[in-house]
Structures are given as C-alpha cells and as structure tokens.
C-alpha cells in the first residue's frame, strides 16, 4: 500500500509518530509521503529541517515504511532560500494550498502561476524534486502542464465526475496525468467524495475508485489519505487497517433498494486459483459479514498463485431491516413488509431481501424443490417468482460467470 499524503509528521510528536509509523508498516503500508503543511508556520524552513532529521533517523529501518518528505504550500520560497530547501531533500513540493500565493493559484482562487512560480518550478525540477499539483486551480494546473518536464502527480484528490468540488480533478486532468505516466492519490476527505458528508462511507470511496478503474490505468491510482489533515473521515475509516484492500474493490451490482454489492480482491485475477467467499446472504446472519470484514483487515498476503474475492454483504437491504427495523426502509414499502412480518415490528429474524424473497433459495439449483420452500412473500423461504429474479442474485451469478472461480 502506498499513501501519497499523510499529515502525521506535523500533527504528532516523535514519541507518538514513530509507533504510528511502525503500525502503518504492520498494516501493509510500504511507502508513505509525510507532509509538512506550511501555511500557518512562521518559520517553515526551520520546521522542515527538524522533520528531516527525524526522518533520517528511521531511514532504511525495515520496521518503518519508506517515508518521503512532502512540502504542502511553498509560499515562503524565493530564488535564494529555495536552495536551502533543496538541501533538506524533500521528495515533492506543492506550490500552493487552497488560496493564491506568490507562486500560483490555489483551488479556491483564480490566479495563475506567477513569474516567480515559474522560476521556482524550474529550480526544483532541475534538482529532481517532484511538483505536486494537488491544490492547484485548473488554470495553474494547465499552465504547469505546459512547462513541466516530469510526469504529473496529484497526491490527494478525488474525481469531479462523481462529486463536483474545486479540489477534485476533471476527466481531462486525470487523462493528462495518466498520459504523462504520472499518478495520483485518492483522498479520504468526505467533502471531496460526496455532497452528503454526514453519511459518507466506504461506498462513496469505492464509487470514485470504480469511476477511475473503468476509464484509466488502475496502476496509476494510489491512496492519498490525508490522515491527520482532515477533521472528518468517512464512516468506519480510522486507520490503514480499514483501507488496506480498498483500491482492489469492485461494485458487482446493486440491491433492490440500489445499495451497492461490493467485492474485495486480494491477489491477482490472473492467478490459477481463484477463491470466492460470500457472506451476509441471509439478513439475520449479519454477523457473518462482520466476521469476514474482520478477517479481511487481518489478512496481509496470499500465495502468488491464489486470488481471493470476498463479497461480505450480499443482502444489504435485508440486513438493514433486520438490524434497524422498518425505519431503515423507504416509507412506501413499510406497510407491506410490516404485514408480511405478521404485523410485528421485530425484524431480527428476517432472512429475505427488501422484496421478501429469500436469496438463498432464489438460485436456479433445484429451484422450488426445497422441503421448506414457499411460493409467497415471507420473512424466509420464499423462492421468488422465478430463478434469479432478484437483482442481488442476478448480479452475483453474472459476476461468478465472469470470475469463473476454481
């Protein structure tokens, strides 16, 4: 796992930072770009020098990820002190933060790159330092694109086609980065991922990943978490263990109520052995989903000849109903489901989906011949009007045919 943007270097004291980095390594982080955000610093170069000393102490230590020094907002640079910065060996430098400065225009401004900005770009690139395009507005981005001699990099962003935001990249910008043999990091900032930040969760992240995967080279997409740099994170995302498999996900279909059904991939699809694991088919057996999610977090590696695909949540609508009751279901369905549930508000034993079809008996394997099968909507055992009538089963079958698990 590679994280192109993490603010822990400035946010945590050394006694907390070093254990944090060791844990990141244990959680599967191979490389991490640690940022020094200078916008509010009075003496940025002094702070950067202190952080450089700290990173040099752990350089080459296998207990830690490869740590790269990143500078966010180069407002303090001029043609004289830029050489002092170069001696501190930053791996990358972002010209601006969100607003305009003496070098370029940030995402919330209209200014372009200044004459001084062009000079600083030339000096830094000549020294082998990568310029980060994150935070640049569109005007500055395209101006930089015309003069740079290196691949384009954007350390932490999301995609404007999914959620319109000044910090998000347009399709054209992404294309320019990929075409230049550059790469980018997906930020875990709710404001970038969705308009409804209160309910932002894993699905919103995967929605951006899916957009990228279906249009561009997936090897160009990394994470740019913005851990310790954003006040709010998506629900259920707290650390690297929670996101270790995120980039290798796919939305294989949607439930009756349009909830995504997500598949996690560990290993390469070209592996000769392909194992498919599903969980949460019956709503009341939601604990299997929690168990498989916990196992996924702990899984570090698989043999090179094996690919594991995990679908932990096959029945999201039914699970929502079983755990949260009718309030979790759209109002137009509540009376019908209440009646099907024998006029009870207790849905804890509900097995079916939102159409009262038991997904486990909706498959075409001896459909309708089970001893307990019934032919009318019910909390359990209703076979549905025909095999694979339910979108959850239909999409799962289509995915299985495509995957051809061994």
For 4-24, give the secondary structure using H, E and C: EEECHHHHCCHHHHHHHHHHH
The rounded distance, in Å, linking the Cα atoms of 371 and 24 is 51
Give strand pairing partners of 223: 3, 186
Give the predicted TM-score (pTM) of the model. Answer: 0.86
pLDDT of residue 217: 80
pLDDT of residue 300: 76
Helix (H) / strand (E) element for 324: namely helix 316-324
Q: What are phi and psi of 158, to 5 degrees?
A: -145, -165
Long-range contacts from 158-163, C-beta under 8 angstroms, 24+ separation: 158/186, 158/187, 158/189, 158/192, 158/193, 158/208, 159/208, 159/211, 159/212, 161/211, 162/193, 162/207, 162/208, 162/211, 163/192, 163/193, 163/194, 163/195, 163/208
Helix (H) / strand (E) element for 31: namely strand 31-37
Distance of CA 44 to the CA centre of its chain: 31
Distance of CA 348 to the CA centre of its chain: 32
pLDDT of residue 219: 87
The full length of the chain comes to 406
pLDDT of residue 297: 85
The hierarchical CATH code for the domain 2-244 is 3.20.20.140
Closest by CA to 213, choosing from 246, 191, 182, is 246
Domain boundaries, the chain: 2-244, 248-406
pLDDT of residue 142: 98
Separation of first and last alpha carbons in the chain: 27
Provide the residue-wise pLDDT of the chain in tens; the chain has 406 residues.
999 999 999 999 999 999 999 999 999 999 999 999 999 999 999 999 999 999 999 999 999 999 999 999 999 999 999 999 999 999 999 999 999 999 999 999 999 999 999 999 999 999 999 999 999 999 999 999 999 989 999 999 999 999 999 999 999 999 999 999 999 999 999 999 999 888 898 899 999 999 999 899 888 999 999 999 998 999 989 999 889 888 889 899 999 999 999 999 998 888 999 999 999 999 999 999 999 999 988 887 889 999 999 999 999 999 999 999 999 999 999 999 999 999 999 999 999 999 999 999 999 999 999 999 999 999 999 999 999 999 999 999 999 999 999 9
Q: If you search the block for the tokens 């989903």, which residue do you land on?
A: 289
Q: Is 67 helix (H, G, I), strand (E, B) or coil?
A: strand
Q: What CATH topology corresponds to 248-406?
A: Aminopeptidase (3.40.630)
pLDDT of residue 298: 85
pLDDT of residue 247: 87
pLDDT of residue 100: 97
Q: What are phi and psi of 287, to 5 degrees?
A: -65, -25
């Amino acid at each position: 796992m590679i994280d192109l943007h993490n603010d822990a270097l400035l946010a945590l004291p050394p006694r907390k930072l070093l254990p944090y980095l060791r844990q990141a390594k244990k959680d599967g982080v191979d490389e991490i770009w640690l940022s020094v955000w200078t916008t509010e610093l009075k003496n940025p170069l002094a702070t950067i020098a202190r952080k450089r000393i700290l990173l040099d102490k752990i350089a080459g230590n296998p207990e830690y990820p490869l740590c790269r020094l990143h500078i966010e907002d180069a407002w303090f640079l001029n043609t004289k002190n830029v050489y002092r910065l170069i001696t501190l060996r930053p791996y990358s430098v972002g010209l601006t933060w969100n607003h305009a400065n003496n070098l370029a225009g940030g995402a919330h401004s209209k200014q372009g790159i200044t004459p001084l900005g062009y000079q600083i770009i030339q000096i830094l690139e000549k020294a082998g330092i990568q310029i980060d395009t994150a935070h640049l507005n569109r005007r500055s981005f395209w101006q930089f694109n015309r003069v740079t001699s290196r691949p384009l990099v954007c350390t932490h962003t999301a995609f404007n086609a999914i959620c319109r935001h000044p910090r998000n990249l347009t399709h054209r910008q992404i294309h320019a980065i990929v075409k230049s043999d550059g790469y980018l990091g997906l930020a875990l900032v709710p404001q970038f991922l969705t308009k409804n930040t209160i309910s932002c969760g894993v699905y919103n992240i995967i929605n951006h990943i899916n957009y990228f995967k279906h249009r561009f080279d997936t090897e160009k997409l990394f994470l740019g978490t913005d851990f310790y740099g954003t006040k709010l994170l998506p629900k259920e995302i707290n650390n690297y263990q929670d996101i270790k498999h995120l980039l290798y996900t796919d939305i294989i279909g949607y439930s009756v109520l349009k909830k995504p059904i997500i598949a996690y991939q560990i290993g390469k699809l070209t592996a000769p052995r392909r194992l498919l694991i599903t969980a949460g088919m019956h709503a009341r057996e939601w604990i299997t989903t929690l168990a498989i999610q916990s196992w996924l977090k702990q899984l570090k590696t698989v043999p090179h000849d094996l690919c594991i695909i995990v679908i932990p949540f096959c029945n999201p609508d039914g699970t929502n109903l079983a755990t949260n009751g009718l309030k979790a279901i759209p109002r137009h369905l509540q009376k019908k489901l209440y009646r099907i549930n024998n006029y009870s508000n207790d849905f804890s034993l509900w097995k079916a989906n939102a159409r009262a079809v038991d997904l486990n008996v909706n498959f075409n394997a001896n459909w309708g011949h089970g001893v307990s099968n019934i032919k009318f909507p019910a909390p359990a055992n209703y076979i549905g009007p025909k095999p694979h009538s339910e979108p959850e089963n239909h999409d799962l079958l289509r995915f299985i045919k495509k995957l051809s698990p061994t």
